Amino acid sequence: LKIVSARDYDDMSRKAANIISAQVILKPDTVLGLATGSTPIGAYRQLIDWYKKGDVDFSQVRTYNLDEYRGLSHDDPQSYHYFMRDNFFDHINIDLNNTHVPDGANPDAEAACAEYDKMVADAGYPDLQLLGIGNNGHIGFNEPDDHFSKGTHCVDLTESTIKANSRLFEREEDVPRQAYTMGVQTIMYARMILVVANGAAKAQAVHDMCFGPVTPQCPASILQLHPNVVLVADKEALSLCE
């Protein structure tokens, strides 16, 4: 696991965007696994900027997002579908038919998850998977548990995640209680994993991911077993790693 130290959020974002754009330049039909949340927004902004300058071309790229709230339609402003269009897809030359997010609008959890697993498998799994990390070490919506998950599945969000995510909703009651998420095994199938983290609230999770025991109590710790992981984090997120 390679640790890249960034000065601050902007530096973290540019470094992450550099890695993603290099991947797309080297392999124009790259399969990207993507994440939502606050952390990657700066990297998406940087990629949009480089796209506008003609430096990176997304016309052949295919994307698979990690997760989606269960019960939200694609055009719900709180959905991860909407987030991805708003923060990234609508500003680059990607074919929207090549972008994929689990179908939170499908109430049949088993069917929605099985369908998504098949799509990701048929695409050959991501060449590069971008990940944020939760304060409690979650990746995707794989929360601390007594086992590692495998494929896409429906999860009950923990109180800590509901609280953390409530900043993006008007009221805490509005945060959906369930989500469809890629499993840990699917995430581990990506050929390269790029984790981004910033801020002191992530310091413990980042430390445990890199140096703690490999345990489902910190889902990100399994990344220690992956052969090609890069963590780009700012000083505050790395403050317990020195």
Q: What is the DSSP string of 205-236?
A: HHHHHHHS---TTSGGGGGGGSSSEEEEEETT
Q: Do residues 240 and 206 lie in contact, with contact meaning Cβ atoms separated by under 8 Å?
A: yes
Pairing relation of β-strands 192-197 and 229-234? parallel
- For residue 138, indicate whether it is catalytic: yes
| Among 102, 104, 134, 137, contact with ligand F6R (rule: CB under 6 A) | 134
Least gap, CB of 54 to ligand F6R (angstroms): 29
Buried b (16+ CB within 10 A) or exposed e, 47-68: bbebbeeeebbbeebbbbbbbb
Residues 156-185 interacting with ligand F6R (rule: CB under 6 A): none
- For residue 136, indicate whether it is catalytic: yes
Q: Smaller CB distance to ligand F6R: residue 60 or 199?
A: 199
Residue 146 CB-density burial (10 A; 0-12 exposed, 13-18 middle, 19+ buried): exposed
Q: Which stretch binds ligand F6R (CB under 6 A): 133-141, 151-159, 209-217, 227-235?
A: 133-141
Distance (Å, whole) CA 29 – CA 115: 22
Considering the candidates 65, 67, 127, 142, report the single residue annotated as catalytic.
67
- For residue 67, indicate whether it is catalytic: yes
86 binds ligand F6R, rule: CB under 6 A = no
219 binds ligand F6R, rule: CB under 6 A = no
81 binds ligand F6R, rule: CB under 6 A = no
Considering the candidates 136, 142, 165, 198, report the single residue annotated as catalytic.
136
39 binds ligand F6R, rule: CB under 6 A = yes
Q: What is the DSSP string of 83-98?
A: HHHHHTGGGS---GGG
| Among 33, 37, 42, 176, contact with ligand F6R (rule: CB under 6 A) | 37
Residues near ligand F6R (CB under 6 A): 35-39, 66-67, 132-134, 138-141
Active site residues: 67, 136, 138, 143
